Amino acid sequence: MILLPITSPQTVQAAEEPELNASAAMAFDEKTGQIIYSKDPDKKVAIGSITKIITLYLVTKAIHEGNLKWTDTLTPTAEQAEMTQRDELTNVRLDADKSYTVKQLYSAAWIVSSNSAAMMLAQKVGGDQKQFVKLMRQTIKDWGINDAEINNVSGLNNDDLYEGMYLGTKTSENKLSVNDIAIIVKHILDEYPEVLQTTSQAKLDFPVDNETKTYNSLNLLLKDQRDYQEGYEFDGLKTGTTKQAGESFVGTLPMDNTRIVTIVMGVAGEESDNDKRFRSAQNLAHYVKENFIHQKIMTPGDKVNNKYKPEQDVYMWVPSDFDLSTLKYGVSKNDLGFKATANKKTANLVVTNSPSGYIPYTKTKKKIKIKKVIVKENLWDQIVNFFSNLFK
């Protein structure tokens, strides 16, 4: 570690806490993993449809690995179709006698949080939903998340699901901490940033009967949505609602040449207030923009510990009144940090006394490919499918 003077500090009044009404929350820089604000980040809470970030990460991975194509067509089971007819679970309608492309289902799962669409995609990738849940568990365990509770692919309570759609008991519910969610979000945005092309869409066009029906995104912070604010251009990511924990939201937006992620879990308020989680996310984004500076702290001409030279300019978020001359640096123990070179050897360095630290990222392990699953139908399934296809 070293002591590296940068500039003279500015002095302003300490920032007031953002008004969030959330049981747990965080704002962090997606590129560096630097935490700018956090509240109870280790507290494990119900996550609802935020679950779908993991599900759709694995679906996106399967597409990249060639095990799934956007043009592949899938047909819902009778149970999956029936669930879209139930008022408390429905958004887009799916019919058991119709097929839908992977692209249509993928968009529906992201934009309007279709539970059955997520189930159909997971079933195709994993062979069945239980096997896919095991894949979800193994994936986040590989990312250093060891105490998660993941029991189904959609985020619904298990008691809303049919047999074969979940692991655990009927009362089980998916739970993660804010730290866990931050790790998951960084993985999907680092590896597959193109997901933002889908999550930024304020409308979904989806086939219903013999026409195309348009649905509004559940993310009310997107442009042209009612909670949008100019200058705060949210382009993702996922809502979550549970009976136990209420309303939550994982948001992301570009800010000062980087990307900020906001997480607000279990936002309290009137049940009829459909904007409370988005208002809290917006308050958190305002808090970052109004009280922190995305400051250049090093250039390629600087030396760290009279040894390492950064490969490019280095930035971090600091409070306006933070004394930059007190910053200390050390070799990163994980994949976070900025690259610096010494004697033709490269290392990742981090600020060891960052005001709020970094998300608990771990060393990237060897990537495991998703194997293409071929599900063998029993004789009865073959007979049913034969007659179903005959009369389509």
Q: Which residues sit in the known binding site for substrate?
A: 238
Which of 23, 38, 39, 49 is labelled catalytic?
49
Concerning whether 52 is annotated as a catalytic residue, the answer is yes
- Write down the catalytic residue from 23, 38, 52, 154: 52
Question: Angle at Cα 37 formed by Cα 32 and Cα 42, nearest 5°?
Answer: 90
Q: What is the DSSP string of 210-239?
A: TEEEEEE-S-TTSTTSTT-BTTB---EEEE
Respond yes or no: is residue 388 known to be catalytic: no
CB 200 within 8 A of CB 260: no
Task: Yes or no: say if 144 and 360 are a contact pair by the CB < 8 Å rule.
Answer: yes
With tokens 């089971």, the residue in question is 77
Of residues 38, 107, 113, 354, which has the active-site annotation? 113
Cα distances (Å, whole numbers) of residue 119 to 20, 132, 265, 293, 382: 32, 9, 24, 42, 21
**Strand ranges in 31-131 using DSSP code E only, listed in sequence order:** 35-39, 45-46, 73-74, 100-101
CB atoms within 10 A of CB 311: 12
C-alpha–C-alpha distance, residues 147 and 162, integer Å: 25
For residues 281, 251, 228 and 198, what is the CA-based torsion angle, rounded to 10 degrees? -170
| Binding-site residue ranges | 238
- The residues annotated with a catalytic role in the active site are 49, 52, 113
